[in-house]
């Protein structure tokens, strides 16, 4: 009996050693999703897109003969937790590079922490101006909100929509929302000759928007610029319509959820927003969309389309994979610092979306399907120039146009 027990124990030990040994051969990428906070709806599907890219790379032989694997740490949308996550992934898990975090609030503290740790970090969504610019290990596979909102204003002008006056409503407890409300929206509207009549503020988790809607209705405007995530924007717009407000809603990519028509319902009719991914751009983007929707359905997530942030997350994995390949990364823990620097320093080119990528400190796009143009419903823009998307309840826009890039 003792001999049998010993034999089982030895087998178990050998099996465990084999599993650990196999895992040690993987090339590790860290991932910082945010299951909470103002952009949780976006973030929850990003991991599906990241795993799609991982599976594609591994199915074609991996990187330098080794498989990629993701280790995640949920930030809950909290900047302090994002820093804890980065340190854990960099110091304990010895990952080679990090996907995320999502929001500008998180990136504001993660980017300097990543610089100190000497590990590449790349956000799929952060768009507050110049957050990554001071750092050599920080990148963003996204576009500046100012660049995108300019395309919205161009679309409005091209269609001769009323735009003499505007109000601005924004959340004050999130970096990008506040940046939109206090800088991007008012500055660009004023530059376009639009009079800003008033601003109202709220908190991301607010549910009662009666007071804000009342102020907006009391001073009617042609446009209402919103700076916040999609959930709070939806609640505000629905209350505004309930009280009789007629202003056309305009915003940046912070509310660019493909589900916005369904979320807002008729209250969202006429809303104009920018976004950087169009699923029907080419065969590759259509393939991405089809596979993404299969996987979200299998995961029990109700989605009718992928978002620009899903596409961007997918691209980040491919960008890292190409950088690892050209840097001859081995995943040897003894060389992790040097290999992280090697990933940072590799420049990658050759996109498949008819666009071009650039990235400050030596990182560009590889086989990119996303880009910082914007969606168009036929209102404005041409391929490569960016455009906008007008939503109608119960319908998805039929957009066209894209560009691509990694920004600081």
CATH numbers and ranges of domains, the chain: 7-142+282-298+305-345 (3.40.50.2300), 145-275+374-390 (3.40.50.2300)
Helix intervals (H) in 171-326 = 175-179, 185-191, 210-218, 230-242, 260-264, 283-298, 308-326
Strand partners of residue 171? 202
The 8-class DSSP code of residue 21 comes to H
Tokens matching residue 42: 């976006």
Closest C-alpha among 130, 145, 127, 159 to residue 188: 145
Is residue 208 pLDDT above 50, yes or no? yes
Which residue from 217, 128, 125 is spatially nearest to 169, judged by alpha carbons? 217
Residue 398, pLDDT above cutoff 80 = no
Can you give the pLDDT at residue 43? 82
pLDDT at 22: 46
Strand duo 121-123 + 97-99: pairing = parallel
Residues contacting residue 302 through CB under 8 Å, at least 6 positions apart? 296
Q: Is the pLDDT of residue 399 over 70?
A: no
Q: What is the pLDDT of residues 23-43, one digit of tens each?
A: 458 999 999 998 887 777 778
Query: Residue 9 above 60 pLDDT?
Result: no
> Does 160 score more than 60 pLDDT?
yes
CA 91, CA 340: separation in Å to the nearest integer?
13
Instruction: Write out pLDDT tens, residues 280-328.
Output: 999 999 999 999 999 999 999 999 999 999 999 999 999 999 999 999 9
pLDDT for residue 361: 31
Cis peptide before 101 (omega within 30 of 0): yes
- Tell me the backbone φ, ψ of residue 100, rounded to 5 degrees: 100, -170
pLDDT at res. 24: 55
Q: How far apart are CA 28 and CA 99, in angstroms?
A: 11
Distance CA 79, CA 76 (A): 9
Which residues in 370-383 are b (16+ Cβ under 10 Å) and which e?
bbbbbbbbebbbeb
Say whether pLDDT at 90 is over 60: yes
Q: What pLDDT does residue 276 have? A: 87
Asked whether 247 and 167 are in contact (CB, 8 A), the reply is yes
pTM here? 0.79
CA torsion angle 138 141 145 149 (round to 10): 160
CB atoms within 10 A of CB 65: 8
- The one-character DSSP state at 335 is G
User: Would you say 355 and 362 are in contact if contact means Cβ atoms under 8 Å apart?
Assistant: no
Average pLDDT over residues 114-124: 96
Look over the chain and give the mean of its residue pLDDT values, rounded to a whole number.
Answer: 82
Of 42, 38, 33, whose CA–CA distance to 206 is shortest?
A: 38
- Counting DSSP H helices and E strands in the chain, the numbers are 13, 11
Cβ atoms of 358 and 136 within 8 Å: the answer is no
- The answer to whether 368 and 357 are in contact (CB under 8 A) is yes
Q: Tokens for 90?
A: 């960099």
Are 381 and 389 in contact, with CB atoms under 8 Å apart?
A: no
SS3 123: strand
């Amino acid at each position: 009996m003792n001999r049998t027990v010993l034999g089982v124990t030895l087998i178990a030990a050998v099996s465990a050693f084999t599993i650990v040994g196999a895992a040690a051969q993987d090339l590790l990428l860290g991932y910082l999703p945010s299951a909470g906070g103002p952009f949780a709806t976006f973030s929850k599907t990003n991991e599906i897109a990241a795993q799609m890219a991982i599976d594609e790379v591994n199915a074609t032989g991996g990187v330098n003969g080794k498989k990629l694997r993701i280790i995640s740490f949920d930030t809950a949308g909290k900047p302090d937790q994002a820093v804890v996550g980065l340190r854990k992934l960099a110091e304990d898990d010895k990952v080679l590079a990090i996907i995320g975090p999502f929001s500008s609030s998180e990136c504001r503290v993660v980017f300097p922490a990543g610089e100190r740790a000497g590990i590449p970090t790349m956000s799929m969504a952060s768009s507050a101006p110049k957050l990554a610019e001071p750092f050599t290990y920080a990148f963003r596979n996204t576009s500046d909100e100012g660049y995108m909102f300019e395309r919205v204003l161009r679309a409005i002008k091209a269609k001769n929509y009323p735009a003499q006056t505007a109000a601005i409503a924004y959340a004050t407890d999130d970096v990008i929302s506040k940046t939109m409300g206090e800088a991007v929206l008012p500055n660009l509207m004023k530059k376009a000759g639009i009079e800003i009549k008033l601003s109202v503020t709220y908190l991301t988790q607010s549910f009662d928007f009666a007071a804000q809607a009342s102020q907006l209705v009391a001073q009617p405007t042609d446009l209402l610029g919103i700076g916040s995530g999609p959930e709070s924007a939806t609640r505000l717009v629905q209350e505004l319509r309930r009280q009789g407000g007629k202003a056309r809603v305009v915003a940046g990519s912070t509310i660019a959820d493909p589900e916005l028509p369904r979320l807002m319902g008729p209250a969202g009719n006429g809303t104009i927003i920018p976004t950087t991914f169009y699923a029907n751009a080419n065969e590759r983007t259509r393939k991405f969309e089809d596979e993404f929707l299969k996987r979200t359905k299998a995961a029990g997530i109700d989605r009718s389309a992928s978002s620009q942030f899903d596409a961007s997350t997918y691209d980040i994995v491919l960008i890292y994979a190409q950088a690892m390949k050209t840097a001859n990364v081995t995943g040897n823990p003894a060389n992790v610092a040097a290999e992280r620097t090697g990933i940072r320093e590799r420049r990658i080119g050759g996109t498949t979306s008819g666009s071009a990528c650039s990235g400050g400190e030596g990182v560009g796009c590889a086989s990119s399907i996303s880009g910082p143009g914007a969606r168009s419903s036929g209102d404005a823009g041409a391929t490569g120039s960016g455009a906008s998307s007008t939503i109608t309840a119960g319908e998805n826009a039929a957009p066209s146009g894209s560009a691509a890039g990694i920004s600081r």
